[in-house]
Amino acid sequence: MTLPDGIRVFGVDFTSAPSRRKPIVCVECRLDGEALRFEAMHRWTDFHGFTDFLSSSGPWIAGLDFPFGQSRRFIETIGWPPAWEDYVSHVAGLSRAAFYEALTQYRLPRATGDKEHQRFIDRSTGGISPQKLHGVPVGLMFYEGARRLLASDVHLPLLRAGDLRRVVVEAYPGVMARRLIGRRSYKNDTRSLQTAEHRSARLDLFDHLCDAASNRSLSGLRVEAPRSVAEDPSGDGLDALLCAVQAGWAYGRKDTGFGIPQHADPLEGWIVDPALLNVSDRDGTISRQSGNEEILAL
């Protein structure tokens, strides 16, 4: 693959219902060698800005924070087509209400503990099932995001061959955030629940992310960004920056699958992050990283 140096790198904190109060937040960076430099932040209050971005001219790579796929168990049990492009095309033919109803009718008769299935990569990272419709509605994020990826003809490593000058990978900022500050809470969308402790955690997260000497992110990148990115109590800008770091790391592995291991399931998809290269097929846990002092407990 012949994508150039000096490439644009984007990180996107996604939502299934963008609005002025809760937009889709995109951080735009530039990757020069090992330096990932913040350039701009974009806020899209509807899906038009997001789809326009997906169709924008390359070369670029983007890390997007929503599940690109569903679990193999769910797809095979519900009887949707057994290939990513085909079942996402099926989903694209459903209204949002019909998709919601399909997942609800699947879940209701099943036994407790067997209602919503995680993908392998979700089990490995503590991620939520992409069937989930309530609380953090990642099922709706899948519905709104995956069909737009399919329509855009971007290149999705592992899932679908597309325009190699527009590469999109699945990111998950929580993986990197926990590596940097543990399980400290650093954000809340509800103003009354936003605390000084959240702000302190965000600033610590940002400082660790930008500390190239320690490389606690494991990305090998020197991240240069304004500390103001960490000031937003929602954490959306900081999460978007973390996604951009994961995408920048993946770009450095463009000739070996963008950091996606060979055993990854092309029906389910994969989250790109340095800690996930050595995920064990045997027990679904994060393994010890070469040269790292501790096991990364996610």
At 288 the pLDDT is 32
Structure tokens given for 130: 């992409």
pLDDT for 5 beyond 80? no
At 280 the pLDDT is 59
Task: Please tell me the number of Cα atoms within 13 Å of 105 on its side-chain side.
Answer: 7
At 279 the pLDDT is 79
H and E: helices and strands count for the chain: 9, 7
Task: Tell me the per-residue pLDDT of 230-267, one tens digit each, with 9 for 90 and over.
Answer: 999 999 999 999 999 999 999 999 999 999 998 899 99
Return the higher-pLDDT residue of 19 and 2.
Answer: 19
Q: What CA–CA distance (Å, rounded) separates 233 from 156?
A: 32
- Percent of the chain whose predicted confidence (pLDDT) is above 90: 85
Cis peptide before 23 (omega within 30 of 0): no
Structural domains of the chain, count: 1
**Which residue range forms the structural domain that includes residue 4?**
1-298
Residue pair 247/9 in contact by the 8 Å Cβ criterion: yes
Question: If we measure between CA atoms, which residue out of 42, 69, 30 comes closest to residue 240?
Answer: 42
Task: Tell me the per-residue pLDDT of 114-125, one tens digit each, with 9 for 90 and over.
Answer: 999 999 999 999
At 277 the pLDDT is 87
- Mean pLDDT calculated for residue range 21-50: 97
- Spell out the alpha helix ranges (H) of 158-230: 173-181, 196-209
What pTM was estimated for this model as a whole? 0.92
At 193 the pLDDT is 86
Task: Tell me the per-residue pLDDT of 139-185, one tens digit each, with 9 for 90 and over.
Answer: 999 999 999 999 999 999 999 999 999 999 999 999 999 999 999 99
At 212 the pLDDT is 85
